[in-house]
Chain A
């Protein structure tokens, strides 16, 4: 593998982690959606690059799904949904930005330490890719636990899933990647439709999932 192949793949995967950080501190839903669209765009570029250097044309399908579905359809749909639900002005911040960023850095450091040590036998590209992918997954999880808004939780889940696609494409020659990315897209479509169809707002007058929590446990 030539030096430039590795560098570009490294750059794209690193950018994905960086954008995950950007997502962490967006407290307005519109801004968050735009950053997520960027996240998906970079993922599409990264997957396409992997398809090129691995000479694996089927990965272009995954890249196409990322580009069309995740970077365009889902953000546009969520955008309209947010307007319909009338929550576009809502500010969603739970834990302080400083704390979240520190926790995020800790998670990235953790995934580097764990993955680089564990995968020392793998080729360097896969090694770096998996480390970055785990970082994106963990940052997505962090976002899900630091938000109370259902829409932001969904976006957290979607960026977590982008990390998984990154890992799957980085694992050279992995079969079923396309199938898995399709399965995940279905899952996400369900979630997005779920936000709307479950009519969380209609039922609870808010998309704040804390409103769900008051019914947790026992009905008295």
Chain B
């Protein structure tokens, strides 16, 4: 086998996972974790220079190259944050050394599974990879072994398993639809073959398959009403995992949905997947926006904000067309960067204040100015205020929707405003006013947080033409 970028993004995490599972000592293993994610990121970047060839199992095209670079980048910055964060968890005794070893190994397994899901050219392999990613995150969510963590892990486990099961049924139906046209065997599950021949598939089978896939992978995206696992899993797991869950795993599940949407789009008689995705997206957006202001737990609040934004992204991809797809891609990128930055900040806040309860956190800008203002900047970004990146993408979604379906745009804007109000109401109490709660210094690194926010800020002001052209190109692929 020749060594190329593809083997890199798969083998480095796999190898690192095996090493991290046996090596002791947190300093060295945390560094090794960072080194592995750095190498993976560099490998992913090299895909732009030399595109690996497409096989029956693996594939790299413009669409998933974008996802892989985003995934490996956030995976890299999160590992930097995690290295400084986890030292504090060891000191306070929330994690013991054996669990830490397990945590690092699982982190790399998760990276491997997500990369595999993204590069899989075979819909069966993609399913296996997403199942693997689900399992590893379940184990990580339950790692603190407190009552709440176990509850969250169990709930995630059961709901995630049901979602995975429905997705498999949909995958089998796709194979059934492909078999009469493509013939028996491996080819009927290879995505590149499927998408070429999908015009001849039985539309009724394709429709049914898509419903199952939408419900199955939609559970993993966290679309309401299938979102019940998401807030718990985000609130109870270690904060780096919340960042990876929100910033990456939800995207991976969405990527799977997009692949099948592209498949259906090539069949003229099949149902248009757009309206279904638009409906689920809008429900998630409005529902999550209303849930925001009643939250008492800071991580849970931002978990609902993730549901809100996945709703917007699903909505944008559901609308389709070059502008909405462009906006969806941009929003997905910006959301991944911003939300993980927010979780980095929140992790610091929770360690400094010793609690995640919003009522016990106050006056952060006075006690921890850098952290407090960083968090405010993150919330301003995620709420979609100009001039940051999310404002641009939300503006594009809203304006393109106004041109095509004004009624939907009104609901969209309504949801966005409610979400914004809820977020500001809560962040006001957290960042300003009387300082409340304990006042330890935050130890974890601020660098990843500000690096993400800087990118989001820069993207809001100036996007390099090359990047815009690239996103346009990918948006065109999505149809």
Contacts from A to B (Cβ < 8 Å): 114-115, 117-119, 121-122, 126, 130, 133-134, 137, 141, 144, 150, 153, 157, 160-161, 164, 167-168, 171-176, 179-180, 183, 186-187, 190-191, 194, 198, 200, 203-204, 209, 212, 215-216, 218-220
Contact = CB atoms under 8 A, between A and B. Distances in A.
B124 interface: yes
Most interface-central of B179, B180, B185 (chain A CB within 10 A): B179
B147 A203 contact: yes
Contacts, number: 119
A194 B180 CA distance: 41
A198 B179 contact: no
Contacts of B184: 172-173
A118 B162 CA distance: 23
23 contacts: A115-B208, A118-B202, A118-B208, A121-B180, A121-B205, A126-B176, A130-B173, A137-B169, A144-B158, A164-B168, A167-B169, A171-B179, A175-B122, A175-B189, A183-B128, A183-B132, A187-B131, A187-B161, A194-B153, A194-B157, A203-B147, A204-B147, A212-B155
Q: Which 5 A-B pairs have the closest CB atoms?
A: A173-B184, A176-B124, A118-B204, A175-B186, A218-B296
B154 interface: yes
Contacts of A167: 169, 172
A122 B168 CA distance: 19
A164 B169 contact: yes
Interface in B181-226: 184-186, 188-189, 202, 204-205, 207-208
Given A215-B151, A220-B296, A179 B165 contact: no
B142 interface: yes
B74 interface: no
A144 B151 contact: no
Interface size class of B (residues with CB under 8 A): 35 or more
A216 B159 CA distance: 15
A49 B127 CA distance: 26
Interface in B125-149: 125, 127-128, 131-132, 135, 138, 142, 147-148
A175 B121 CA distance: 14
B297 interface: yes
A53 to B, nearest CB: 14
Q: Is the interface of B mostly helix, strand, loop or mixed?
A: helix
B300 A218 contact: yes
A150 B205 CA distance: 34
A91 B154 CA distance: 22
Most interface-central of A144, A157, A173, A175 (chain B CB within 10 A): A175
B150 A141 contact: no
B165 A164 contact: yes
A118 B124 contact: no
Nearest to A157: B161
Contacts of A212: 151, 154-155
A215 B296 contact: no
A219 B148 contact: yes
Contacts of B51: none
Most interface-central of B148, B157, B189 (chain A CB within 10 A): B157
A119 B176 contact: yes
A57 to B, nearest CB: 15
A180 B127 contact: yes
B175 interface: yes
Given A167-B172, A168-B172, A215-B148, A191 B124 contact: no
Nearest to B184: A173
Nearest to B149: A198
B328 to A, nearest CB: 30
Contacts of A157: 158, 161-162, 165
A117 B179 CA distance: 18
B295 interface: yes
A132 to B, nearest CB: 13
Q: Is the interface of A mostly helix, strand, loop or mixed?
A: helix
Nearest to B128: A183
Nearest to B125: A176
B158 A175 contact: no
B292 to A, nearest CB: 13
Given A173-B188, A180-B168, A187-B164, 19 more contacts: A117-B204, A118-B204, A122-B176, A130-B173, A144-B162, A157-B162, A160-B162, A160-B165, A164-B172, A167-B169, A171-B179, A173-B179, A174-B175, A180-B128, A186-B135, A190-B138, A194-B153, A216-B151, A218-B297
B161 A191 contact: yes
Nearest to B297: A218
Contacts of A118: 202, 204-205, 207-208
A180 B142 contact: no
Contacts of B186: 175
B124 A215 contact: no
Nearest to B204: A118
Contact of A180 (B124, B153, B173, B296): B124
A114 to B, nearest CB: 7
Nearest to A173: B184
Given A173-B184, A212-B154, A183 B176 contact: no
Interface string B373-402: 000000000000000000000000000000
Contacts of A209: 154
Contacts of A115: 208
Most interface-central of A150, A153, A180 (chain B CB within 10 A): A180
A198 B145 CA distance: 8
A219 B356 CA distance: 10
A122 B188 CA distance: 15
Contacts of A122: 176, 180, 205
Contacts of B154: 150, 194, 198, 200, 209, 212
Contacts of A119: 176, 204-205
Contacts of B161: 157, 187, 191
Interface string B273-300: 0000000000000000000000111001
Most interface-central of A115, A121, A200 (chain B CB within 10 A): A121
Contacts of B296: 218-220
Given A144-B162, A212-B155, A187 B168 contact: no
Given A119-B176, A173-B185, A161 B165 contact: yes
Nearest to A161: B165
Contact of B147 (A130, A161, A215): A215
